[in-house]
A and B are shown apart, each in its own frame.
Chain A
Amino acid sequence: MAQMTMIQAITHALDLELARDERVLVFGEDVGNNGGVFRATEGLQKKYGADRVFDTPLAESGIIGLANGLAIQGFRPVPEIQFFGFVFEAFDQIAGQLARTRYRSGGRYTAPVTIRSPFGGGVHTPEMHADSLEGLFVQTPGIKVVIPSNPYEAKGLLLAAIRDPDPVIFLEHMKLYRSFRQEVPEDDYTIPLGVANVVREGKDATVIAYGAMVSVAQKAAEQWSKEKGFEAEVIDLRTISPIDIDTIVKSIQKTNRAIVVQEAQRSAGAAAEIVAQINEQAIYHLEAPVLRATPPDTVYPFGMIEDEWLPTPQYVVDTLNKVMTL
């Protein structure tokens, strides 16, 4: 066991997988010699060589196109998009190509590609760095979307993502990269994709969150318990496509109330899909409508007003109070 930050856990997972499977290739802008702009690939090129871990020209569509071509010839590419706000450059190669390879070839070709990319607010990045764009890929058939909330899970989920026979987008929240350390086992373990995790037991309301919003939800739950004596059950979704609706329904059967907390603006992200699935599968267990605690439907804000824009524990508590009185 070792104390690791999330970025160290990610490097550690890449290291393990590069050693275990020689088909794994890591590439992107500045991931080679430089070790990545966040040091996520630090030391890997030196250890595995420039044939396994390498830099690419500065072109996102080219990077994912490269991954597509390598994948249909038997490699397991782990490309990086430097910031997920740059994903629009590669949108066709992800949604138009990668996600459809197995389907359009009737299974003749597959795309075991894991796209790693940082995103997320609260660290005052310039424009187009922090945007939560995961919802675009919740709406893209053929691709899974994973967002870890801590170092332990980042390692297990990344290993599962790379080993998945189909494409996965693995989104790493920048604020979580070095905000805390956690015990992370050195050995090989995976956390199954598509399975949520109940991180706090409660009986009065269910809070569904992912990414950096998991700790916001946990803080809100503690505050709510102190202030009102209510106990919120907090679910870390971990995989936001496909959504683990069974875990959510099970929780709602107990709590009869729910809210969804996400960092993406209201009509983006995964919240609307979660609410729709709850509506289909748990409506008779609900005492109140499912509310969303999200930022407003604006463009991601300039740094000066970021902290006011992003959901805070207080905002989550307010939303919980609302759902209790509806």
Chain B
Amino acid sequence: MSLNLEAKPVPFLQILDIEGNVVDAQQMPQLSDNELRDLMRKMVFTRVWDQRAVKLARQGRLGFYAPVAGQEASMIGSEAATKKEDFLLPGYRDIPQLVWHGLPLHQAFLYSRGHQSGGKIPDDVNVLMPQIIIGAQIVEAAGVGLAFKLKGEKRVAVTYTGDGGTSQGDFYEGMNFAGAFNAPVVFVVQNNQFAISVPVHLQTAAQTLAQKAIAAGIHGVQVDGMDVLAVYAATKEAAERARNGEGPTLIEAVTFRYGPHTMSGDDPTRYRTKDLESEWEKKDPLVRFRRFLEGKGLWSEKDEETVIDEAKTAIQEALAKADAEPKMTITGLIDSMFESLPADLKRQRDEFSAEEGQ
């Protein structure tokens, strides 16, 4: 008897190669020209926003910020495959998905600055604010998915974590609960190769992260996370399956972050080689998708410039709006703890409101 231990335990999906050529026409998602252009528009916008956010964080005009350059395909491709009524439970790096799902940009900036208004999601936007505790969003997503199932709503919960996050207990519990309840959830793992300084091979001996789906008995697929069409196609199929009552899916998008882990003093030269970085720069999701669209006559330099200008203007406006937000108060924080304040907190409120009045 010989066991074939080398075979990949889950399927791998790539539609565009790094030259922008279609390598798997069968899996090509059905997208109109406008929808294809929109994916590119959002990716370019997000790249500009990321570059600007990094600078603003250095200038002290933004606070906590986790760079996203390199991950545009995995973030935007997956979000674009959801419907407005689907509910997103993001990690701390997943701000672009929230914004493309409807969160106003100025609120993303307020979140970065540590203003409570950043988390006050508009009523018609179906997202939770970014989760700092890695893995917590995964178990919560199982609950959101079960809620949709119990209410008979054809909606899907979509949640994100990174490669390091797959080592958490909550990651396994969340997938396993969603599987046991056959809940409509899509779990997206953005494997950007490093959890701060720790490379993925130090997280696990598993050959892929997608195969962790096997432990929960759910579908698992690994996709080229630098290929926006592959991420879109995989997410679309997973969401449709979930919507039709066929249970959850784990999608591993293999990607790379060009910048540091966060703007809070991380230096990637301590743990990444120049060679590795330039190898991944060749896989840039924007470059390959631009080539694909140019080949179809759907994108030009002028289109790109228009988006860059649009992004710069939107960022300026959002910053102005964030600057205009009233300052937070201690009494405001106290008031937001409970629907009605317990007596001891009322006393503390009086104490602090007197101080605020001075």
Residues of A at under 8 Å CB distance from B?
Answer: 25, 51, 56-57, 59, 61-62, 64-75, 92-93, 96-97, 102-110, 141-142, 144, 165-166, 194, 242-246, 277
Contacts and interface: CB of A to CB of B under 8 A. Distances in A.
A53 B133 CA distance: 29
A105 B143 contact: no
A105 B126 CA distance: 13
Nearest to B342: A242
Contacts of A56: 177, 180
B120 A65 contact: no
A41 B292 CA distance: 60
12 contacts: A57-B176, A65-B140, A72-B143, A73-B151, A92-B136, A93-B136, A102-B336, A105-B119, A108-B120, A165-B338, A165-B339, A277-B344
B144 A69 contact: yes
Contacts of A243: 344
B337 A51 contact: no
Q: Determine the main DSSP class of B at the interface with A.
A: helix
Given A62-B176, A97-B133, A106-B117, A73 B144 contact: yes
Contacts of A51: 150
B119 A106 contact: yes
Given A70-B143, A104-B119, 14 more contacts: A57-B173, A61-B169, A66-B143, A67-B143, A69-B139, A69-B142, A70-B150, A97-B133, A105-B119, A105-B120, A105-B121, A105-B129, A142-B338, A246-B343
B339 A62 contact: no
Contact of B337 (A71, A102, A105): A102
A104 B142 CA distance: 20
Given A51-B150, A109-B128, A66 B139 contact: yes
Most buried by B among A25, A105, A109, A110: A105
Contacts of B151: 73-74
Contacts of A110: 339
Contacts of A144: 342
Interface string B334-350: 00111100111100000
Contacts of B139: 61-62, 64-66, 68-69, 93
Contacts of A96: 133, 136
Most buried by B among A61, A62, A194: A62
Nearest to B89: A69
B141 interface: yes
A65 B343 CA distance: 29
B148 interface: yes
Contacts of A71: 143
Nearest to A102: B336
Interface string B54-98: 000000000000000000000000000000000101000000000
Contacts of B89: 69
B144 A72 contact: yes
Given A62-B174, A107-B120, A194-B343, A72 B133 contact: no
Contact of B145 (A69, A109, A165): A69
A25 B151 CA distance: 12
A97 B140 contact: yes
Contacts of A105: 119-121, 128-129
B337 A73 contact: no
B346 to A, nearest CB: 10
B239 interface: no
A57 B177 contact: yes
A107 B344 contact: no
Given A106-B120, A142-B337, A194-B343, A73 B148 contact: yes
B333 A103 contact: yes
Contacts of B338: 102, 142, 165-166
A18 B140 CA distance: 23
Contacts of B120: 105-108
B344 A242 contact: yes
Contact of A65 (B87, B121, B123, B142): B142
A256 B211 CA distance: 67
Contacts of B336: 102-103, 106-107
A24 to B, nearest CB: 12
Nearest to B340: A165
B17 interface: no
Contacts of B300: none
A318 to B, nearest CB: 31
A209 B89 CA distance: 42
Nearest to B169: A61
Contacts of B170: 61-62, 65, 92
Most buried by A among B123, B139, B145: B139
